[in-house]
Amino acid sequence: MNNRILWGILLLVMTGVVLRSSIVRPSPLILPTLTQVPPFQLIDETGQPFQSAALKNHIWIADFIFTSCAGQCPQMTEKMLLLQRRLPAGIHLVSISVDPARDTPEVLEAYARHNRAEAGRWHFLTGSPEVIGPLVQQGFRLSYAEEGENLMEPVTHSTRFVLVDPEGWIRGYYDSTDPKALEQLIREAVQLVH
């Protein structure tokens, strides 16, 4: 074979390898650092004090629900169960009740069991309204309003999931009703692991 042809083939192969490696290895996304979750102390589903410090060095995903909710909460809990199945075991899940008067530790424990929550990984938390309200609104910067005792939905709250890094910084908000947002949350949570 002619040397020119051999050099031409070698050049084509090398160009293909360079192009392929640049396509296969996209640069990782840089997640924004939004705001830091303030320290908090609540009560978990076992009736024990739960401090935010227990989540230090863990990536975690928070949502805000209440167990008697007839609206979005059951769907949010179903999505959290999906996250429990699909995310690495080191990523924790935290569901905080926005109806602490009704959601006692015993109620939360039954709810966790019913929804197949993995103990020690998926935490269900409650506390006094004086702690929960400011934590949701100022700490996580989400909507929250108590609507009254006689309504079917006594609390209005956000349906967003919140991705928090090991240092307690919020790295993203995700609409729990949007399948694309859920897939984005999974990708970005896994990215924080690496």
Residues 6+ apart with CB under 8 A from 105: 43, 44, 45, 46, 47, 126
Look at the alpha carbons of 12, 17, 23, 26 in this order and tell me if their dihedral is positive or negative: negative
pLDDT in tens, the chain (194 residues): 566 665 656 555 555 544 444 444 444 568 888 899 999 999 999 999 999 999 999 999 999 999 998 888 999 999 999 999 999 999 999 999 999 999 999 999 999 999 999 999 999 999 999 999 999 989 998 876 666 554 555 556 688 999 999 999 999 999 999 999 999 999 999 999 87
Residues facing 125 on adjacent strands: 44, 96
Nearest to 97, CA basis, from 68, 140, 54, 139 = 68
The pLDDT score that the predictor gives to residue 23 is 46
Please tell me the distance from the alpha carbon of residue 184 to that of residue 191, in angstroms, as a whole number. Answer: 10
pLDDT of residue 32: 85
Fold of the 41-193 domain: Glutaredoxin (3.40.30)
The torsion region of residue 135 among left (phi > 0), alpha (psi -120 to 50) and beta comes to alpha
In this structure, which long-range contacts are made by residues 56-59, counting pairs with CB atoms below 8 Å and at least 24 apart in sequence? 56/166, 56/167, 56/168, 57/166, 58/90, 58/91, 58/92, 58/166, 59/90, 59/91, 59/92, 59/163, 59/164, 59/165, 59/166, 59/189, 59/192, 59/193
pTM for this prediction: 0.81
Instruction: Name the token pair of 156.
Output: 């209005």
What pLDDT sits at residue 134? 92
pLDDT value for 70: 82
Q: How far apart are alpha carbons 161 and 191 in whole angstroms? A: 17
**DSSP letter assigned to residue 72:** S
What residues form DSSP beta bridges with 160?
Answer: 175
Strand segments, DSSP code E, in 46-98 are: 49-51, 60-65, 92-97
Domain ranges of the chain: 41-193
The SS3 call for residue 157 is strand
